[in-house]
Amino acid sequence: MHTHTTLMMATLTKALKPILGRQLGNTAKVFGAAVNSQRGKPTYAGQIIPPPAKYGGRHTVTLIPGDGIGPELLNHVRELFRFCCVPVDFEVVHVNSALTSEDDINNAIMAIRRNGIALKGNIETNHIMPPNHKSRNNLLRTSLDLYANVMHCQSLPGVQTRHKNIDIIIIRENTEGEYSSLEHESVSGVVESLKIITRNNSLRIADYAFKLARDKGRHKVTAVHKANIMKLGDGLFLQCCKEVASGYPDIEFDSMIVDNTTMQLVSKPHQFDVMVMPNLYGNVVSNVCAGLVGGPGLVPGANYGRDYAVFETATRNTGKSIANRNIANPTAMLLASCLMLDHLKIHDYANMIRGAILTTMNETRLHTVDIGGQGTTSEVVQSIMRIIQSGGPLTTEI
Amino acid sequence: MSISARSALVLFPTRLQPWTGLNNLKSPAVCCQRKKSSHTPPPAKYGGRHTVTLIPGDGIGPELLNHVRELFRFCCVPVDFEIVRVDSSASSEDDINNAVTAIKRNGVALKGNMETNHNLPPSHKSRNNLLRTSLDLYANIMHCQSLPGVPTRHKDIDVIIIRENTEGEYSSLEHENVSGVVECLKIITRVKSLRIAEYAFNLAREKGRRKVTAVHKANIMKLGDGLFLQCCKEVAAGYPDITFDNMIVDNTTMQLVSKPQQFDVMVMPNLYGNVVSNVCAGLVGGPGLVPGVNYGKDYAVFETATRNTGKSIANKNIANPTATLLASCLMLDHLKLHAYAKMIRKAVLRTLSETQLQTVDLGGQGTTSEVVYSIMQEIQRGGPRTTEQI
């Protein structure tokens, strides 16, 4: 009797495999490239990563409010999701950046491992604290091995900028490089900071970049480096990019030194298509691009790992000086939540919200202070909700 | 006694000791130690003519420096150039060592950029870098100003960027202990950070500037950039009349492309200086417009601010000579030949504002030789070529 049941279960599972398999072996194709998630399968190390957190048709996503403008903007996200009846529940994990103990951030990491996806605000790193107090954001990225930071920089037609029609994808290595937090002071008054470049991580990020370029139909990938000075380090990065490039003959590969890149970006940004680079240059270049399309309040960013994805604003600002004053621009955070919905494959909701945001930006032109308008955060969110309501019934049939 | 003889008498004593002359326009408290040290020779000035080392470099360097020489000859500037060629592809370091010796001899140099081929083995160090570290040219100054007549998206930019020139990420110290894992060392020392901060505040004071901003990434590189920031704060305490501010490099670059007018004087370590100075050069019109200076305690080397080789436009007569010519004016200021410097600078800026003569990089159609010719005409129009020396 017992064996009969197990046999039935086995055949049932086998029959359902194609349906289940589609979810388990999900390939994040829309924004991230074909990153085959290992969720639900035992890894080589023997640890089993739990299956996606989807029960009864509702997803569970970790929410880390962070500091500064994070909490208020993420509240707006939750308000909007509730209004649109998006089938996402948020598991809120607070991280106190002032504490020295790492328990908070470890809890957050555990929650993300459980749920697979997170939406976060930036956690402040106070640089007056002692050096052993590591950056919480950095800890999160390295523990979850979120190796690719993708930022899609697009000019919004309704926003006044000096450059028009910019469309650049920036892929930045997210775990090593200058952010390894390895420093020492062997001799008093002389500090050595180590910048680590490894072959594995460089190959991995280059592969990701070319896959993404191919998936999105892009024609050129530019590697940004400083190999004339850091010959071994950036030389290795460049070499790995070249090796991967040879496997993608349909995509043109180019390389440029970082100082020339930044100069070209401020004069002729249209020459760039997809850019791949190590950590620090990625930081600078993504901030330059964010400045070109209108500021830190407009661009969403995504951090992808093999098994996890964390969404946040691209320039990772805490915005302490404008916190709780209802003047922060919610666009970046809301677009990041749309990216998250795309990742969860609930495209209808994502497109609905994204459409409403873009309509508010471009047609209604309700802008916040940072892009030259006079609207408050709540006014913008209200406008988005009104547009969604006028677009049709709140609940859409999936 | 005739007037000229009397004035000659008055002028004579000051002319004999140019080096004790106080802070010149560009290098304030770098009190020249040249006469005092027993090892550095006195300034290379004989019979009223200065000798300056000229390093042509690669790419557009040789042709632009030829134009400089041509212009100087035309204006009868009392400067003779000692040309030292450096072959960037030769693996031996003799060439660059000769150049360094020549600069030690003359004290001042004007150079083009020497190409660093990154396909050569890592033991082949960057020639420019070797020059900077051997001569301890610790401060790189770039004065970024919006020039009238040049079409740009941003107006009224006036930023001075002071970049630490000898350490930081450019120490060329790398190793591969484990195969496939490379460690690059970024060195920040207290002594050098204090030195560059001191230089920055002194310069700000000399030029009547009100704010100094330190650019760093101390939230990630806590010890390294933390030390740099701390040194800046210590020096700032001694200059209460100047506001001190600090900003993280990513925010700085973002602010630069949206609101560059908020910056006044900026001081930073080597790599950030490289990026920020290139962003600023892009904002005011491109690499062909901004001159740069490298100052050490005893030596000064002048070049274009963004240090481009310009290989793709070499020998095509389309390069913009403005940056190199303005750099040579800075050199003349350093040598205290202010009248010549002013004359050439005025002519260069006048020519720049004439849109038909702008070179390709500014959107015009002029050639390099046309621009230089126009500058010469402008100078000729301004009065007799030889002016009574101050």
Among residues A258, A293, A328, the one where a domain terminates is A293
Question: What is the 8-class DSSP label of residue A362?
Answer: I
Interface membership of B288 toward A (CB under 8 Å): no
Residue A65 and residue A138 in one domain: yes
Which residue range is the domain that position A74 belongs to?
53-123+134-152+297-393
Distance CA A206, CA B87 (A): 35
Query: Residue B80, SS3?
Result: strand
* Residues 343-382 of chain A whose Cβ lies under 8 A from any Cβ of chain B: none
Q: By C-alpha distance, which of A118, A143, A144 is closest to A59?
A: A118
Distance CA A310, CA A340 (A): 8
What are residue A58's DSSP bridge partners? A55
Interface membership of A203 toward B (CB under 8 Å): no
pLDDT tens digits, one per residue of A344-387 = 999 999 999 999 999 998 888 889 988 888 999 999 999 999 99
Same fold, B44-117+125-141+290-380 and B153-284: yes
> Do A197 and B226 lie within an 8 Å CB cutoff?
no
ipTM above 0.85, yes or no: no
Nearest CA in chain A to B121: A231
> Do A288 and B222 lie within an 8 Å CB cutoff?
no
Chain B residues with CB inside 8 Å of A184's CB?
223
Q: What is the dihedral of CA A274, A279, A285, A289, to 10 degrees?
A: 70
Residue B188 tokens read as: 């920040």
Residue A252 and residue A315 in one domain: no
pLDDT tens digits, one per residue of A4-48 = 555 555 455 455 444 444 443 333 334 444 455 666 555 454 455
- What angle is formed at CA B235 by the lines to CA B233 and CA B237, rounded to 5 degrees? 70
User: How many alpha carbons lie under 13 Å from residue A101 in its C-beta half-sphere?
Assistant: 3
Q: By C-alpha distance, which of A208, A200, A203, A197 is closest to A148?
A: A208
Superfamily of domain B44-117+125-141+290-380: Isopropylmalate Dehydrogenase (3.40.718.10)
Do the Cβ atoms of B194 and B225 come closer than 8 Å?
no
Inside any domain, residue A88: yes
Residue among A127, A138, A292 whose CB faces B226 most closely: A127
Do the Cβ atoms of B210 and B244 come closer than 8 Å?
no
Interface membership of A62 toward B (CB under 8 Å): no
Which helix (H) or strand (E) element contains residue A348?
helix A347-359
Interface membership of B163 toward A (CB under 8 Å): no
Inside any domain, residue A20: no
Show me where the domains of chain B are located.
44-117+125-141+290-380, 153-284
Kindly write down the DSSP assignment for every residue of B216-270, as one continuous string. Answer: E-TTTSTTHHHHHHHHHHHHHHT-TTSEEEEEEHHHHHHHHHH-GGG--EEEE-H
Nearest CA in chain B to A318: B251
Kindly write down the DSSP assignment for every residue of B110-144, as one continuous string. Answer: EEPPPP--TTS-TTS--HHHHHHHHTT--EEEEEE
Residue B43 tokens read as: 């300034």
> Do B180 and A227 lie within an 8 Å CB cutoff?
no
pLDDT tens digits, one per residue of A177-234 = 888 888 999 999 999 999 999 999 999 999 999 999 999 999 999 999 998 888 899 9
Interface membership of B261 toward A (CB under 8 Å): no
pLDDT for A40:
57
Query: Residue A291, SS3?
Result: helix
Kindly write down the DSSP assignment for every residue of A51-71, as one continuous string. Answer: PP-EETTEEEEEEE--STTHH
* Residues 114-173 of chain A whose Cβ lies under 8 A from any Cβ of chain B: 125, 127, 131, 135, 138, 162-163
Interface membership of A223 toward B (CB under 8 Å): no
Superfamily of domain B153-284: Isopropylmalate Dehydrogenase (3.40.718.10)
> Do A196 and B183 lie within an 8 Å CB cutoff?
yes
- How many structural domains is chain A composed of? 2
Residue A169 and residue A186 in one domain: yes
What's the first-to-final CA gap in chain A, in angstroms?
40
Among residues A293, A310, A343, the one where a domain terminates is A293
> Do A317 and B251 lie within an 8 Å CB cutoff?
yes
Distance CA A330, CA A313 (A): 10
**Stretches in chain B below the pLDDT threshold 50:** 1-31, 35-38, 386-390
Residue A280 and residue A302 in one domain: no
Do the Cβ atoms of A344 and A43 come closer than 8 Å?
no
Inside any domain, residue A14: no
Residue A196 and residue A230 in one domain: yes
Q: By C-alpha distance, which of B311, B319, B301 is closest to B372?
A: B319
Query: Residue A82, SS3?
Result: helix
Residue A275 and residue A307 in one domain: no
Residue among A138, A196, A287 whose CB faces B253 most closely: A287
Tell me how far CA of residue B130 lies from CA of A102, A200, A229, B136, in angstroms: 44, 32, 11, 10
Residue A278 and residue A169 in one domain: yes
Most B-contacting residue of A163, A187, A280, A289 (CB-CB within 10 A), to test interface? A280
pLDDT for B44:
84
With 90 as the cut, is the pLDDT of residue A100 above it?
Answer: no
Question: What is the 8-class DSSP label of residue A49?
Answer: P
Tell me how far CA of residue B193 lies from CA of A176, B136, B150, B167, B189, in angstroms: 26, 14, 36, 9, 6
pLDDT tens digits, one per residue of A251-302 = 999 999 999 999 999 999 999 999 999 998 999 999 999 999 999 999 999 9
Chain B residues with CB inside 8 Å of A197's CB?
181-182, 184
Inside any domain, residue A31: no
* Residues 242-261 of chain A whose Cβ lies under 8 A from any Cβ of chain B: 258-260
pLDDT tens digits, one per residue of A259-269 = 999 999 999 99
Query: Residue A309, SS3?
Result: strand
As a whole number, the mean pLDDT across chain A is 86
Percent of chain A whose pLDDT exceeds 70: 86
Among residues A293, A315, A335, the one where a domain terminates is A293
Residue A268 and residue A167 in one domain: yes
Residue A287 and residue A312 in one domain: no
Which stretches within A278-330 are classed as H helix? 279-293
> Do A283 and B278 lie within an 8 Å CB cutoff?
no
Inside any domain, residue A72: yes
Inside any domain, residue A16: no
Most B-contacting residue of A137, A140, A193 (CB-CB within 10 A), to test interface? A193
Residue A283 and residue A301 in one domain: no
Residue A177 and residue A282 in one domain: yes
Q: Residue A319's domain is classified under what CATH number?
A: 3.40.718.10
pLDDT for B64:
95
* Residues 297-326 of chain A whose Cβ lies under 8 A from any Cβ of chain B: 315, 317
Chain A residues with CB inside 8 Å of B255's CB?
291
Inside any domain, residue A10: no
* Residues 296-355 of chain B whose Cβ lies under 8 A from any Cβ of chain A: 306, 308
> Do A135 and B250 lie within an 8 Å CB cutoff?
no
Q: By C-alpha distance, which of B376, B351, B379 is closest to B366?
A: B351
Inside any domain, residue A168: yes
